[in-house]
Each structure stands twice: as C-alpha cells, then as structure tokens.
Amino acid sequence: MGLFGSFFEKIPFLSNLGGKKKSTKSNVELQYDKAINQMENGNAEEAIDILEKIVDIAIVESNYKNFGVDSLKILGELHETGKYSNSKITIDKAKACQYYEKYVKLNKEGEMIYKLAMMLLDIQNFSKAITYFEKATDCGIKAAYMNLGSIYENGLQRIDQYGNKSDYVVPVDYDKAMMWYKKLADTGDSKAKSAYDRVEYASKHTDSIEFEEKDKLYTAISEDRRAKGKEPRYKAIDPSRLQYQYTYVHNQVDGYIHKLPKDWVKTINEDTDEEYYAPSITYKDFAMYVSYDSIPRDSKKTLENYLRYCNDAFEEELQLKAYITEYADGICTTFYHKEMEKGVVTFAFYKGKRLACMKFVCASMEIIEQYEEIIFETANSFAFVDPTLVSDQSANRKDNQYYSEAVYCYYLEDYEGAMAAAKQALKLGSIKASYLLIELYFDDDSPYKDIEKTISYAKQLFDATKDPDLAFLLGNIYDQQLKDYMKALNWYEHAHRLGHKRVAFYLGRFYYYGVLRTKRDGEKALEYFKEAQANGILEAEAYIKDIEELKGEDLQTCVDKWERAVEAGSGAAALKVALYKQSQVFFMANSYEIEKAFNEALGLGSYQAAYELGKIYQQQEAAEDFRGEIKSIKYFEKAYDNKYEDFDKDNLFKVVEYKASKVEDVGDKIDLYLQSACMGYVPAVEKVLELATTADRKIETLYMELQSIAETGDDSAIIAMNKLEKKFNSLVIKQPTDAQKIIENKFFRLCVPKECTAVINDDGGTIKFADSVVEFAVAEMPVKADEEADYLKIYKLILSEYLPDESAEIVIANSRMIGSGIRDNKNNIHSYSILLISSKNQYLFKLSSRDRREMMMFKDKVLDIAKSLVETGEIYVATDGERKNIGLSWLLKSNESGFLSIGKMD
C-alpha cells in the first residue's frame, strides 16, 4: 500500500468533547497556567520548576495525567530546541530525551516514541534508540521499520565533534535489515519492498560495478554523447581539489548511476516518507534526494514540471537553466523553498522517456556553498545506464509507468488524467493502482466519487491483500455514510483481528452508543476504548471518563432510567438527556434530535433549555445564507424572565439590551444594564455611563462587583472599572468616615483609623495598632505602564504569580492600583505584606506581629488602609541604591527577551 497510507488517515475521529461545561480550575491547572505565563514572559527557570512539579503530581495522581503529559511535552521541546514561546535556554538534547521518556511512559503515543528514538540516535545512545524504534513499530509507525532496516543495513558508528567515525558500535547485519524491511514490505509498502530487494541483492553480490570498470562505463557514455554533438554546459569541480572520498550508487533495477560521498547512509524523512542520503541517519543540515521515473508515451509530464513536482515547487518562482554534463542532459535551479524554509539546489535529467531528479536540501541558503563540492560532484556524475536486474518494482515497467503518471495527475488535481492512467495501470496488473482508484472514488473533491464503486474495489483488493486499512475503510463507509452498522461491525472486526490500531476506538463507540441490536454495553465499550488509549488514540480518554463516571452502573440501565424519568415528566432529566445529546455523550443525535430534546425539556419546565435553544438558533442565524425567523432572542428572553442565572456575558447583554429597548424609564434601563455590567461586560458598563448622572449606591455596588471579578483574573472588569472611575472619581477618592483620619505626603494620602499612631514622611512611615506595627513605603516604578495595554500586562503577571498561591490574595484598590497580599511566618514573626502597583509608583505595606491572632485581627484594617490609597500624581525617584531596590524592583525582573517576570521577594 505504502504511498496511500495518508489516504486512510483522512478518515476522521468522532469526539464527544464538544459542549461539556468547563469546571472550576484546580490548583494544578492554575500552576500550569502560571508556568505558561512565565514561558511567555521569558522566565524559563521558574516555568521549568513549576512544570516539573506538575509532572511529579501527574505520575502519582492519574486525574492530572493530561497536565503532566502537556508539561513533559513543553519541557522536552524547550530543551530540544532551546526555546518555547518567549523563553530561551541552552539546548540540551539529552535532557529533552529524559522528558520525552517520561512522556511515553505516561502516554504511549507512537509518534512521540518515534521522535524519542530519533533523538536518542542523534545523541548516539544507540541501544536505547533501537529499543524505542522497536516500540514505535508496535504502534504502527512505518518510518520506524525503515530506520531499523537502515541501521542494520549501514551499521552505526560514533562520530566525534570533528567528524571522525569510530569502529562500528552496531555492525552491519543484512539479515536483521531484511527482517525489518520485510515486515513493512509485507503490508504492501513499495519503499520497504525496494529496500528489501536492495539488501537481499547486496547480501549475495559484491558491488555490481567494480571501481576499475566504472571508468569504462563513463568513458563509453561520454564518447557516445560527444559523437552526437552534445556540448557540456555545467559547473565542473577540479578533481585535484576534492576534499571528500566518493563511492558509487548503481541502481540496477531502474538503471542509473551516480557518485555518493563515502560512508554516507540512506535514511528516511519521517514527514514525507521519502528516502534520502546524508552523513548519518539523524543529520538534518544537508540531505540528498534522488528520484527516478519512466513515463508512458502519452505522459503529461514535461522536464520542468517533473522538477517542480519532485520539489513540490509549483508555486515557487524558479530561474531554470540548461545543465548538460558529460553524461546527461538536464536543467537546474537554486531557490529558497518558502514552505520548507530551506535552501534547495535541484537538477532534473532526461533520456528519452526516462527522467531523474536530484535535489539537495540545505538548512539555509547560506550553507549551500559549504556543500558545493558534494552537490556538483554527485550531480555531474549522474548517468542513465541499462537496467541489469529484473524487479516488479522497476519504474520502467509499463504498469508502474502508468501508476506513476496517475499519481502525478492526482497530485495536480487532474482527476480525468489520474483516472485514465490508473485504469491503464490496473489493466497492466498494478495492485497499487487499485488503491488509487479507491481513493478517486472515495475523495469528496473527485468528480468520480462513487461509494458503491469504492466498496466494490476495496472488497476485491481486501480479498487479495488482507490489508487491515481496507477493512477499516469499508467499516467506516458502512458506519458513517450508509449507517449499516452490522456490516460496519463485521468489517471493523476484520480490521481488529488484523491488528489495526485505530479501529478499537470505533468498536468502542458502537457499544457506547448502542447502535447494534444488543444496545449499549458499557463494559465492552470501556474495554475497546482502553485498548484504543493504549494504542495512542487520545480521543478515547473522554469516552473512558464518561463510562467511569457512572461508578459501575450498567450504561443501558442508566439510559433507560433517564428516559423513563423524562416520560414521567421530569424537567431535570429531560435537560440532562438534551445536554448529553448535544455533547454526544451516550446518545448519538443529529441537530434536529438535539433541538427536539431541548424543546421537550423546556416544555417540562427547564429554563436552561430555553437558553440552550437560544444558542442553537443564534448559531443558525449567524450563517450567511440564513433567511428565516430570528428566534434566539425570544428564547434568551424566556430564560431571563424565568431567572436563569448562568448566561454568558454576550448573550446576557443582548437580552437586557432587547428588554431595555422596550422600556422608557431611564432608571429601569439602568437596572437592566446593571445586570450585564455586573458581569464585567464593558459594553453594558458603557450603556450605564451614558444613562447615569451620579455615582449613587447602585454605581458603587457595581464598582465593588467589578473589583471582585477583577480579583479572579478577568481583565475586562479592570477596563470597566477604569471607565467608571473616569466619570465618577469619587469611586477612587474615598472620603474618611467619622472613625478615620487622613495621613498624607507628597506622593499619596491614606485613610487610617483615628485610634492608630501614624508617623509619615515622603518615603513612607509607620502605623501602630496596639502591639502591631504597619510599615509602609513608596518606591520607584522600574517600568513604564502609561498605556492601558501595558498596565493590563502587569495585572496579568501579578495574577499568574499570586492567584495559584494559597497564602496570597489579589488586592485591587482601583483600576490603576493593583497588587497582592501575602501571609508569611519567619522566626516566629507573623507578617502580612501588601504590594500595590500604579502606573506611576509602587507602594508596600507590611504588618508584623509575634501573635498570629493579633496579626489576623488587624489584617483587614491594613487591607482597608491600602485600598484607600490615592496618588497625588507625583512620580517617586529613588535617590540611593537601597531605596531603589525595594518593593517592585525585587518583583519585576527584566530579561533578555524584554518581557517582565514576577517573582516573590526573598
């Protein structure tokens, strides 16, 4: 099968993740968010520490497995590439491998196992690399088979920093190489079959062209071309200046020869499934690809299009020029491949109906010159020769000619040409053409789409090959398109018996949704989903969780119980079933059935159902071609009128605006908008400000609500607060009560209890309560935060630092006076410290006491004092080093990326 492996991967997963309500964040999730924020702000060291702690928790507590897996992936990427988000560290691939090893222990994901194997190979940990390649083959990763074959075909040697190679650590072993190539070849992979034939031949023969004979071969070709008047036009390399030793690659099956630097190996690009030559299996900076094709007489390929096709460069602007060597005619070009982001030097040669392409892919345009000798010495040596080995893989065979032509046309979306060539290839006996025909009949974009023909060809091919992917495809067609679940089950079970990795997920869904006559079977579903999870199918995890949440109750019994409750008139049960149908949990429902279920719940008195229906109709009304009745607002209004409380911000505003449009009294309008404004919805606050003339009790209550919301991390509440403050400055400048007095200096004023003793100067001062003392100080602001976006950034950094900390709390005096309060205990001294940051200065308060109860008793008073702080507008500038480095200067640290990072004071 080989080439069309990606075709079967087009079959999508079906997930039940949509529609589930997000739960309150756990401390682990808050810590994870904090780590991501630290990464964004360039503080890698602290982020690493947090993520490693999350991993430790995830290893012990399975509830946090997903956070552990994500943390390990981030840690691995950071150490592998040296960067993640805005953070940078020194690359440490050995450390990255340690993280990835932990990742695959928690989550046996085939692609990650393969990636780990490649990295271990790169750091020359050969024994572990081989172990993980073998594990990757268990997960069905085809490239892993090819890598294992290549390892034993070429052997492995350690390479030092100067490029010197050791003796073989893993010796050449043709038997093992053939074993791994054959395992993949038996699945129908053409590249593996070619590799197997190559190694089998090498194991029985010496080099087909001896070095003393190669001169005769090249001389004969050169003389023949001169006799025909061929004038070379190419870049010659002076033989006396060659730095590398070369050997020869002679493809006896297709018939071509070219030089190759000695000791280079053939490996595979795991992203494109193409084979290439490189100094070692894991070398990435330079790669040499060689393609060969033989075209039928009626081919649509030209030499230029073949070059573009081999380089995936139909969209690139290429400066092509003739390139005629002593041994072949062709064209060449050098260009920067935008999609790959690499430099490419490429040559295309032809002789009659035979084509070949050599492409040299460099990590950048700048390093092309470094490899100039290899590029031109190998390209200049390319020559077409007579094939000397018969193989059904030969591109010169007519069936393979037409198959290759069909693939080329399909790539160009020339479906007519692809169909004609594929049928001709099939007539000539090409099994591969059968796969292409199936794809042409299955592809939604193909004008030949025909499900019955897809089924017919797939069945015939399955009978001949027993390919599990074909059984899976047939099962999927009967399942997803024809809804014939018994036939789907039969084909899925065929695929399962043949070892298909994805099909367990689909079998699990059958028993989860009860599409068979046996209805739902939670036990069987769970068994299949756990198998799918073990095969690396992450989508299975949500289904497993759903079943496990039943706490051992029989799934079908639960569903029957819910449905009986609905029949008995339970609105709560009806809503539960409707929500399950909406999120595809235990019920497989279409849009009509979901809408019907919510209407039934509404009829039984569930007003959340009205809200859900409003969202359904809102989504329908958002379509560009929608022409029907606008129903969403009526259902939102019904939910609102019946006291439904869990509106989202946008829709609550829509419904209050709709209701406000129907009333005349300004006070009533304000009351309506206040309900939306109290959620921190800025447009609603703006409406309140348009209508309100004074900061009455309602406005003050709104302001306090916004403060509370802002303390949970909602920046829209900060924006809304600022808008209120600009119109009603009395919200910020609080007047003292009868029990308070004012203390002030040139930078700020505070409201403090009358009974306290206060000493104040321009730098700060002290406030004494009984045996407790509050020290307070003003300090320099080390960064500019004049713009709202800059200040919001500081706000978010404070949240990320202190919100997850159980001993800390967010303190918001006003929209431009934000900080945190934190409790501490050192040397039997209990303290409560507050840091407030404005756009101009920073302010610190610290309450200390030997008696914890007394400290807690005065804590709220200190908080009230801090929140009463009003600036004069003066900007504080520290005059000495000690005063300059207190407070925020300890908390805000600039780093190389220019981002701010917040950390606690020592």
Q: For 267-328, give the DSSP string.
A: EE-TTT--EEEESSTT--SEEEEEEEEE--TT----HHHHHHHHTT-TTS----EEEE-SS-
Q: Any idea how long the chain is? A: 906
Q: Would you state the torsion angle of the CA atoms of residues 611, 612, 614, 617, taken in this order, to the nearest 10 degrees?
A: 180
Q: Which helix (H) or strand (E) holds 778?
A: strand 772-780
pLDDT for residue 824: 84
Quick one: average pLDDT of 755-781?
A: 85
Q: What mean pLDDT comes out for the span 808-833?
A: 88
Indicate the range of 447-461, 660-674, 723-737, 797-811 predicted with least confidence.
797-811
Q: Both tokens of residue 902?
A: 């917040």
Q: For the ranges 107-111, 358-362, 725-729, which has the lowest average pLDDT?
A: 107-111
Give me the residues paired with residue 256 across strands. Answer: 251, 384
Which of 340-349, 467-476, 598-607, 806-815 is predicted least confidently? 806-815
Q: Is pLDDT of 376 > 90? A: yes
What's 169-229 look like in SS3?
A: EECCCHHHHHHHHHHHHCCCCHHHHHHHHHHHHHHHCCCCCCHHHHHHHHHHHHHHHHHCC
Mean pLDDT of 235-262: 90
d(CA 232, CA 242): 21
Q: What are φ and ψ of residue 810, in 5° steps?
A: -85, 135
pLDDT score of 874: 85
What is the C-alpha to C-alpha distance for residues 285 and 278, in angstroms, rounded to an integer? 9
Would you state the pLDDT for residue 198?
83
- Which range, 32-46, 524-538, 559-573, has the best average confidence (pLDDT)? 559-573
Q: Say what angle helices 632-641 and 607-621 make with each other, to 10 degrees.
A: 160
Beta bridge partners of 831: 824, 848
- Measuring CA to CA, which residue among 517, 527, 521 is closest to residue 484? 517
Both tokens of residue 216? Answer: 């005769």
d(CA 206, CA 195): 17
Residue 190 and residue 146: Cα distance in Å, rounded?
12
Q: Are strands 275-278 and 265-268 parallel, antiparallel or unpaired?
A: antiparallel
Q: Name the region of 176 (left: φ>0; alpha: ψ -120 to 50; beta: rest).
A: alpha
Query: What are the residues whose beta carbons fall under 8 Å from the beta carbon of 69, sequence distance 6 or more?
Result: 58, 103, 106, 107
Lowest mean pLDDT among 19-23, 693-697, 884-888: 19-23
Strand order in the sheet with 265-268: 265-268, 275-278, 286-294, 354-362, 342-351, 329-337, 321-324
Residue 264: C-alpha distances to residues 154, 246, 486, 624, 748 (Å): 9, 9, 53, 58, 73
642: its two tokens? 């019946």
Give me the pLDDT at residue 210, please.
59
Radius of gyration of the chain from Cα atoms? Answer: 36
Tokens 């605006």 -> residue: 657
Res. 853 pLDDT band, cuts 50 70 90: confident
- Check the CA dihedral 230-233-234-237 and report its sign: positive
Query: In which band, very low, low, confident or very high, does the pLDDT at 427 lie, cut at 50, 70 and 90?
Result: very high
Reported as a pLDDT band with limits 50, 70 and 90, residue 890 is very low
- Averaged pLDDT of the chain: 88
Contact between 823 and 734 (Cβ < 8 Å): no
What confidence score (pLDDT) does residue 19 get?
32
* pLDDT number for residue 223: 92
CA distances from 837 to 101, 778, 781, 906 (A): 43, 10, 8, 19
683-685-689 Cα angle (round to 5) = 115
pLDDT at residue number 13: 47
CA angle, corner 373, sides to 371 and 375, nearest 5? 70
296 alpha-carbon distance from chain centroid: 43
Nearest-CA neighbor of 815 among 698, 901, 727?
727
Q: Determine the Cα–Cα distance for residues 813 and 152; give it in Å rounded to an integer.
A: 69
Q: What's the one-letter identity of residue 489? A: L
| Amino acid 880: pLDDT | 61
Q: Cα separations (Å) of 452 from 4, 477, 487, 491, 678?
A: 20, 10, 14, 16, 59
pLDDT band at 73 (very low <50, low <70, confident <90, very high): very high
Greater model confidence, 245 or 891? 245
Q: pLDDT grade, residue 882 (50/70/90)? A: low
In the sheet that holds 829-837, the strands lie side by side as 757-761, 764-769, 772-780, 841-849, 829-837, 817-826, 808-814
How many angstroms separate the CA atoms of 512 and 555, rounded? 8
Model confidence at 8: pLDDT above 80? no
341 pLDDT more than 90? yes
With a cut of 70, say whether residue 740 has pLDDT above it. yes
Domains in the chain and their CATH numbers? 211-384 (3.40.1000.10), 647-731 (no CATH), 735-902 (2.60.120.1690)
Q: What is the pLDDT of residue 65?
A: 87
- Render pLDDT for 262-290 as a digit per residue (tens, 0 to 9): 889 988 887 888 999 998 888 889 999 99
Q: Are 217 and 258 in contact (CB under 8 A)?
A: no
Residue 684 confidence (pLDDT): 95
pLDDT above 60: residue 4: no
Q: Angle at the Cα of 445 (from 442 to 451), degrees rounded to 5?
A: 25
Is pLDDT at 23 greater than 50 in this prediction?
A: no
**Alpha-carbon dihedral of residues 566, 572, 574, 579, nearest 10 degrees?**
-150
Phi first, then psi, for residue 327 (nearest 5°) are -125, -10
- What the block records as the tokens of 361 is 């892919």
Structure tokens at 597: 């279920």
Using alpha carbons, select from 674, 714, 710, 709 the residue that is nearest to residue 690: 674
Strand partners, 842: 779, 837
- Do 20 and 580 contact (CB within 8 A), yes or no? no
Q: What percentage of the chain has pLDDT greater than the value 70?
A: 93
H-helix segments, 388-467: 398-411, 415-427, 431-442, 451-465
At 295-308, the pLDDT tens digits run 999 999 999 999 99
Q: What is the pLDDT of residue 38?
A: 83
**Alpha carbon distance 402, 430 (integer Å):** 9
pLDDT, average across residues 533-556: 91
> CA nearest 292: which of 247, 350, 225?
350
Measure CA 481 to chain center.
29
Q: 316 vs 781, which has greater pLDDT?
A: 316
The answer on pLDDT for 207 being more than 70 is no
- Please state which of the ranges 269-273, 494-498, 896-900 shows the lowest mean pLDDT: 896-900
Q: In the predicted model, is pLDDT for residue 418 greater than 70?
A: yes
> How high is the pLDDT of residue 847?
86
Distance between CA atoms of 363 and 360, rounded to whole angstroms? 10
Query: What phi and psi, each to the nearest 5 degrees, are found at residue 113?
Result: -60, -40
- Residue 101: which H helix or E strand, with range? helix 93-106
What CA–CA distance (Å, rounded) separates 628 from 771?
Answer: 73
- Report residue 596's pLDDT band, with 50, 70 and 90 as the boundaries: very high
Query: What angle, 0 to 180 degrees and rounded to 10, lies between the N-to-C axes of helices 44-60 and 93-106?
Result: 30
